[in-house]
Amino acid sequence: MKIVVAGTGYVGLVTGACLSEVGHNVTCVDVDEKKVEIMKKGISPIYEPGLDELLERNYKEGRLDFTTDYKNAYKNADIVFIGVGTPERADGSANLDYVFTVCGQIAENLENDCLVVVKSTVPIGTNDKVEAYLKENVKDGIHIEVASNPEFLAQGTAVVDTLKASRIVIGVESERAENTLREVYERFNQPIVATNRRSAEMIKYASNDFLALKISFMNEIANFCEMVGADIEDVAKGMSYDPRIGDKFLKAGIGYGGSCFPKDTKALHWLANDNGYEIKTIKATIEVNQNQKLKMFREAKKRFGDLKGKKVAVLGLTFKPGTDDLREAPSIVNVRRILDEGAEIVAYDPVGIENFKKLYPTEIQYVNNPGEALKDADMAFLFTEWKEIKGIELSVYETLMKTPIIFDGRNCYEIKDVEKSNVEYHSVGRKAVDNLDEAKVEAATTLI
């Protein structure tokens, strides 16, 4: 069968690469000619471990191709996977313009029967609207059907998440569509959950929003731990042994970011309100996360009072390790607030600097290693738990910083190790540690 994938972002490109990896012939469509050319060279336009190798191997072996010629690509497609973005509108609703643009292109050019599979995250009921639109606009005599097939990949592990998924969800309204998708995914040898389209759409939102809820819940517990003298790391460990809870998404920090959780929580909240219902847990999840992002900034303000003229080291810019994605990253709002205070920022991130320069091209200084950022700094903020950052010895802070005062938004260090070091350390859900020696304390207070 001829498979076409519309869109080469995280969803579309990983889908196309992984389908070709298991033996399917796939053509990926994108409007950007430069993007298409670099993908043909085996270079992914997004940072995703393992993806370059899949692109290069499957393109060379003839199973994977890339094109801007959507007219020819859609003309004889048996299956079209839609993996374009559904960005958040100002009111929190999902913008479906890209989805329906692709649908218009499919309807205009398709010349044989086709199954259109929506992988993009869309509000409940969207697949019904997509099918109605396609049937109204496709040429006479063509049988066209729509299925929902949400993705559950995580940036940084997207290839593994697709090739070794915990489950494959397909939302269909006919046996014909179900059988077609079962044939597509047969080679993945993974559990398939078959349901109707609306349930499949809801599974995606419910899954992402539940994980976001877990993160916000743990951050609320962490904040309370600080008030009562408990340690959130020990609390999370004790909880994790309960099989009803598990050990995933129990890590306290400065909130979630990325392309999914912020957008999907707001979209479901909006959709519920639009249907006359408020999901209070989702509303609370969003509010907690927005507040949590600035937790370390507030700690620094409490500690220093005024940040004007301070040299600030920022370690970690991306929303999480393993990706160059900055969407909704806590670093963005924190950097803005620190700059507004009149501080000087020197920033380090292993892969996120080029993208961050698009936001702040000249306002902050970028360096290629964490040591350069820490040199003579008055304080350090840790916003992403990259291994390159977690691996920094605490003695490096002592040696390089003017005053080794650390605001760790990702709990990169164990308290027992911090207590053996001559640093001042603030983290999430744990006691603060102040082991600055007398000279450092005097220097710090003099500069306030």
Where do the domains of the chain lie, and which CATH numbers do they carry?
2-195 (3.40.50.720), 203-289 (1.10.1040.10), 295-447 (3.40.50.720)
92 is in an annotated binding site: no
Cβ count near 78 (within 10 Å)? 14
305 is in an annotated binding site: no
Helices (H) and strands (E) in the chain, counts: 20, 15
Asked whether the beta carbons of 28 and 58 are under 8 A apart, the reply is: no
In degrees and rounded to multiples of 5, residue 351 shows phi and psi of -135, -10
Q: What is the pLDDT of residue 437?
A: 74
176 is in an annotated binding site: no
Low-confidence ranges of the chain (pLDDT < 50): 448
Q: Nearest-5° angle of CA 129, CA 131, CA 132?
A: 65
104 is in an annotated binding site: no
258 is in an annotated binding site: no
371 is in an annotated binding site: no
253 is in an annotated binding site: yes
Quick check: is 260 catalytic?
A: yes
249 is in an annotated binding site: yes
352 is in an annotated binding site: no
- Could you read off the pLDDT of 199-233 as tens digits, one per residue? 999 999 999 999 999 999 999 999 999 999 999 99
Strands 114-118 and 79-82: parallel
Q: What does pTM read for this prediction?
A: 0.93
Q: Which residue, chain included where needed, has tokens 């902050």?
A: 364
- Sign of dihedral through CA atoms 94, 95, 98, 102? positive
Residue tagged active-site, from 28, 114, 260, 412: 260
Q: What is the pLDDT of residue 75?
A: 96
- Sign of dihedral through CA atoms 133, 136, 137, 141? positive
Task: Give the Cα separation of 16 and 20 in Å (integer).
Answer: 6
Q: What is the pLDDT of residue 440?
A: 56
List C-alpha distances in Å: 313 to 5, 328, 347, 358.
42, 20, 6, 19
